[in-house]
Amino acid sequence: RRCRRRLDIYMALFTCLATLLACVSARLAIEGRVERQPIFRRLRGGSEEADAPPPPRVMFVCRANSCRSQMAHGLFNKLTDGSSGASCGFRASELNPHAVAVMAEIGIDISEHTSNAIAEYDPSAFDAIICVCGCAAEVPGEWKVGHFEDWSLDDPPELDPGDRSVYRRVRDELKERIEALAKRLHVAGCGLGLGPLRGGQAAAAGGVRDEVKEYYGKVLQKSADLQTNACCTAVELPQEVKAAIGKVHPEVVSKYYGCGLCVPEALSGLSVLDLGCGSGRDCYVLAQLVGESGSVVGVDMTDEQLSTARQHVAWHADAFGYARPNTDFKQGYIEDLKGIGLGDETFDVVVSNCVVNLSPDKAAVLREAFRVLKAGGEMYFSDVYADRRVPPHLRDDPLLYGECLGGALYWNDFLALAKAAGFADPRLVEDAPITVANPALEEKLRGIRFYSATYRLFKLPGRLEADCEDYGQAVVYKGTLPGRAAAFDLDSHHHIE
């Protein structure tokens, strides 16, 4: 009888639970039907277009609000087919007649614009603030809380007040940047919907590569243009590396974007390949460490970055005291090194600094690195990783991707890809948490932790195992590496004395 009583109680509880679940399901179904009929469309009989959010409000800031900011204001309104752009300056001024004229040439009338002072506006009324004259340091702090960019464009009146060709060049550069800005705000999932783009400008960048090229070639002009600190090296540099950086041309250094240090030990006389070399800073550092008898090849796909790297080749050879340059720069994709003529087992070391995360095919990058390495060589590289898989809507955000966050690999996915490529024992050298330092993006990325990490992957087929086993063996360091007489750190958990 006691068992029967317990069974009856359990059945009663189960019935109550089932009834409760049925009620909840019915309620959710009703709410689901309501959600599919937004209230403002039900009341007004509106169309789907009524649901679309308005274009973003963008403020273009300059010193005098007479030329560049006024042209940007007109271009953005034309692009979004509306009046969501605005402009202001630190002081009001007269509208520049040459700016009015060159805008009229492309069918945009800004003659009715007025020049306004920044004090007249509330920054919270705008979704994005764009400083067009390189005066970000002068912009009040409250204007830089949300989406803020500094474009640093030339000032036509300062270059040549009466030469309209200068105004046209700046106008056309503004047009390119505003098209890129429009795509970033639209795709980023910030709730900013852009209206129809005109004149064929609606064509999307043809995939991840084009978006990365655009971001690193046109949007970013210097390291300070980055919107987060993900692509910034925070590690303490060895003295010899600091000295080497001091000999690199200032323009090359100013366009450096990296998240770590990719300089292994004992490089003298070796051949090194830098994947995603950008402006060439790391290549020129490595060129000093490999010496005149060694060689460094940099690969990048971005025209603007490669142009900076190539124009200083002879300058660096002379600065290093070399009879001829030991650096070479090739344009191509790091997923297809064979396509730019890099053969099998060509390099002793492959390095990369915060670039693999930007690739749409990371497995191909690792396979190609393994292919071009000589037996016994290593891939020594820094990159950004996440503590979980980045969701698709964040992964597809061009701004987050360009900032090295959207494409960050989940730790365990990277380890699996590295082993599949042939690197049997990936070794973590060092890692550190990344603080995004951008409140708007931090909110968007809430719950995901990012890390800057350096790995070394050795090409030793059949001679490495993934697990460390201790059978009582010992390794003694002979102190032969320059600058490391007492001990050598193989990785984060192998300190050899």
- Active-site positions read 62, 133
Structure tokens at 70: 């006024």
Is residue 166 within 8 A of residue 154, CB to CB? The reply is yes
d(C-alpha 136, C-alpha 131), whole Å: 6
Strand partners, 381: 352, 455
Specify the length of the chain in residues.
Answer: 497
- DSSP classification of residue 11: H
Instruction: Tell me if 267 sits within 8 A of 283, measured CB to CB.
Output: no
User: What is the rounded distance in angstroms from the CA atom of residue 426 to the CA atom of residue 465?
Assistant: 10
Task: Name the nearest CA neighbour of 275 among 205, 215, 364.
Answer: 364
Q: Which amino acid would we find at residue 241?
A: V
List beta partners, residue 495.
Answer: 489
Secondary structure E strands in 318-357 = 327-331, 347-353
Provide CB contacts within 8 A for 367, sequence distance 6+: 421, 422
Residue with tokens 């660096």: 316
CB-based burial, 138-152: b 16+ in 10 Å, e otherwise: ebeeebeebbbbbbe
Contacts 24+ apart (CB under 8 A), 311-317: 312/249, 312/251, 312/252, 312/280, 312/284, 315/249, 316/247, 316/248, 316/249, 316/284, 316/287
| Pairing mode, strands 427-434 and 450-458 | antiparallel
Can you tell me whether residue 5 is helix, strand or coil? Answer: helix
Running DSSP on this structure, what letter comes out for residue 98? H
DSSP strands (E only) in 16-153: 58-62, 85-89, 128-131, 147-150
Record the tokens describing residue 95, joined without a space.
Answer: 């509208």
Residue 321 CB contacts under 8 Å (≥ 6 apart), including other chains = none
| Terminal alpha carbon distance of the chain | 75
Enter the tokens of residue 299: 């690969």
User: How is residue 129 written in tokens?
Assistant: 């603030």
